[in-house]
A and B are shown apart, each in its own frame.
Chain A
Amino acid sequence: MSHKKVPLLRLEPRAETARVMVYAAPLIAVVLTLIGGSVLFALMGFAPHVALYNFFIAPISDTYGLSELAVKATPLVLIAIGLSLGFRANVWNIGAEGQLTIGALFGGMVALALNDLTGWYILPLEIIAGVLAGMAWAAIPAFLRTRFNTNEILVSLMLTYIAQLLLNLLVHGVLRDPAALGFPQSKAFSDSTLLPTILDGTRVTSSTIITLLIVGIAWVVVAKSFVGFQIRVAGLAPAAARYAGFRQPRLVWMTLLAGGGLAGLAGIFEVAGPIGQLQPTISPGYGFTAIIVAFLGRLHPLGILLAGLLVALSYLGGEAVQINMGMPLAVTGVFQGMLLFFLLACDVLVSYRIRWRGTGQGAVTGARAAKG
């Protein structure tokens, strides 16, 4: 890639964010992805329009497909909402995957302990256990950061590996179903410990409704409440936040606990929902993918909802092109990467105007940029 002294294009901040671009940017990104994807698929020897159809339309062309989109998007949105609070305040929890795992593990242990009972209180108990466990796991980086100044990126990431090994240890050991012939899995959860499905013939449970509620609550918190204001100020101008008397440690605690709690909730929702037991693999990387979802959604609850649906769709599409077209998963990975790059890149249009060299004010700063 040649690197010219005078930039061909440069960005100029807009005085205020472009309303039109807030909505137009993702559309431009999608159009670019369709073009880029077509080229990629054609290069790989697949008919582009068939591939794009299978990617974006086939998976959701019936009720069941739509319901699966909800199933796949629910944990992504839930986790991303929690993470976005921290990211706004410059608290970098990248260990949601571990918090999810611990939430699933401890919520699941409660479910197993009460497996033979019936009663309305069982589900709330296991959900609370899952949330608390996720919060407890996130409390470790919170404590270490506020007390010992330890960087939460490292601690939360390392704790992810530890959580997965802990789950692995327990499902190979004490939690193993004696009837499972030595295979690492717990007993199946009984009906009273499982989230009931809300649509017959699908796997959609109340977890999707709760997630939508949480999106709404988060919207209010972020946009309207004083806490939301503190979070935003702490993220944008840490010094100003300190002058204003916002206590940084409290924000670290609050955002990490919120992120961990929601990740733990996603974890118990998975095991008490579509999975229905404890086993070594619970999440296919939701905790990491949710980080992308959070930023694609511009850290805004509604944006996160849309981003979560889009990312979930890209996974469903990846399965569809394999089944219907025999396209290797590797191509899907490249295509997903491309989609994300375009979405992220087009977001620049919201806050900036693109100026080409020689046009308008571009020439003015051209001279200054020549230094670079």
Chain B
Amino acid sequence: MFLDTTGAIIAATIIAATPLLLAAIGELVTEKSGVLNLGVEGMMLVGAVAGFAVDSAGGGAFGGLIAAMLAGAAMAALFGFLTLFLLTNQVATGLALTMFGTGLSALAGQGFVGTTVPRLGKIDIPLLSQIPLLGPAFFSHDALVYGSVLITAAVWYFLYRTRGGLILRAMGESADVAHAIGYPVIGIRFAAVLFGGAMAGLGGAYLSLAYTPLWAENMTAGRGWVALALVVFATWRPWRAMLGAYIFGGVTIAQLHVQGMGVSIPPQLLSMLPYAATIVVLVIISRDATRVKLNAPAALGKPFLPTA
């Protein structure tokens, strides 16, 4: 019983963390290139509705996920066009994108309220899923859960082990230097923005296709904002984003369990825990100032105009 419950808590944590992780890892790449897109919530919502729409129109779960990434990327393209080509303020444009995405997704989703699609199927990893505790906790999930870990690994590999990643990070350090060396700053940043949008869309679709297979206005309920905070929490490192998502998800799940056991702590106080925990852990992490500075993209949020 104890093993079962522990396994279940871990599994629930991972599921709760997956949409956060997907959106955060996308935003992390965007920010590493020096662009701050605060429109994650809006892109997640548009991804959620696009994925749901395509799935319920017969496109299947896979089609839905592709559609969600495309929709998220399309939203990001709008953001990228405004901020990179027209040099609009990134913070304001991102917030406006969330407003726009909230309205757009509500508009597009009007016909889908009250319907459902089959939940994204679980894939039991042979043998591993049979292990007590570890099996149900880690090896009996849907494809996107495994996918989110693989994407995290791929992003880490790309950023820190490839030339492309080095160039991308250079954009985030100093666009002018990168430009002087001859890299197409705007093109690379635009690609990073698109990736961020696609991942946010995927995170949104995780909610509407896997976590709770339904569409409803504002169903992300603030997860896009948490994902943004997790990028900062992670000090812009992919594995730490995963750690942050799992801590946040874990504390959320744990407080629900504590309530279910009948412990008399006000639920509002328990609901504060994930936010408080994130602050406390970040304080501990960032005490080493130099390491944070090394990871934080120096040019984050700064506009760039190529000069001759």
Contact = CB atoms under 8 A, between A and B. Distances in A.
Given A155-B282, A158-B275, A330-B110, A347 B229 contact: no
A194 to B, nearest CB: 27
Interface string A152-170: 0111011101100110110
B150 interface: no
Contacts of A7: 85
Contacts of A345: 82, 86, 88
B92 A158 contact: no
A289 B276 CA distance: 24
B285 to A, nearest CB: 8
Contacts of B37: none
Contacts of B294: none
Contact of A333 (B74, B78, B104, B187): B104
A158 B271 CA distance: 12
A203 B214 CA distance: 41
Nearest to A332: B103
Contacts of B82: 341, 344-345
A296 interface: yes
Interface stretch (B3-11, B94-102, B118-126, B155-163): B94-102
Contact of B91 (A3, A13, A87, A159): A87
Most buried by A among B271, B275, B305: B275
B283 interface: yes
A229 interface: no
A303 B203 CA distance: 37
Contacts of A347: 88-89
B130 interface: no
Contact of B92 (A334, A344, A364, A369): A344
A137 to B, nearest CB: 13
Given A288-B95, A292-B95, A365-B308, A154 B292 contact: no
Interface in B260-299: 266, 268-269, 271-272, 275-276, 278-279, 282-283, 286-287, 289, 292, 296
A331 B305 contact: no
Most buried by B among A165, A166, A288, A336: A165
Contacts of B101: 337
Contacts of B102: 333
Given A165-B272, A352-B87, A372-B306, A330 B107 contact: yes
A348 B88 contact: yes
A148 B286 contact: yes
A79 B35 CA distance: 25
For the residues of A in contact with B, the DSSP-based class is: helix
B86 A291 contact: no
A328 B113 CA distance: 15
A11 B87 contact: yes
Contact of B282 (A154, A165, A294, A334): A154
Q: How large is the interface on B (under 10, 10 to 19, 20 to 34, 35 or more residues)?
A: 35 or more
Given A87-B91, A372-B186, A161 B275 contact: yes
Interface string A297-331: 00000000000000000000000000000001111
A168 B275 CA distance: 16
Interface in B195-221: 217
B268 A168 contact: yes
Contacts of B286: 148-151
Interface in A70-107: 87, 92, 94
Q: Which of B91, B190, B269, B278 has the most chain A CB atoms closer than 10 A to its own CB?
A: B91
B70 to A, nearest CB: 12
A180 interface: no
A172 interface: yes
A338 interface: yes
A155 B233 CA distance: 9
B92 A296 contact: yes
Contact of B96 (A172, A330, A341): A341
A330 B103 contact: yes
A340 interface: yes
B99 A340 contact: yes
A291 B91 contact: yes
A1 B77 CA distance: 8
Interface of A: 1, 3, 7, 11, 13, 87, 92, 94, 144, 148-151, 153-155, 157-159, 161-162, 165-166, 168-169, 172-173, 288-289, 291-292, 294-296, 328-338, 340-341, 344-345, 347-348, 352, 364-365, 368-369, 371-372
Question: 10 shortest A-B CB distances, which residue pairs?
Answer: A333-B103, A337-B100, A295-B92, A330-B106, A372-B184, A340-B96, A169-B268, A344-B88, A330-B107, A334-B103
21 contacts: A11-B85, A148-B283, A151-B286, A154-B279, A157-B228, A161-B272, A162-B276, A169-B268, A289-B95, A291-B91, A328-B107, A329-B106, A330-B103, A333-B103, A333-B106, A336-B99, A344-B82, A344-B89, A345-B82, A348-B87, A364-B308
Given A155-B282, A341-B88, 19 more contacts: A1-B81, A151-B232, A153-B228, A157-B229, A159-B275, A159-B279, A162-B272, A165-B268, A165-B269, A173-B266, A329-B103, A330-B104, A330-B107, A333-B107, A335-B103, A340-B92, A344-B88, A345-B88, A372-B187
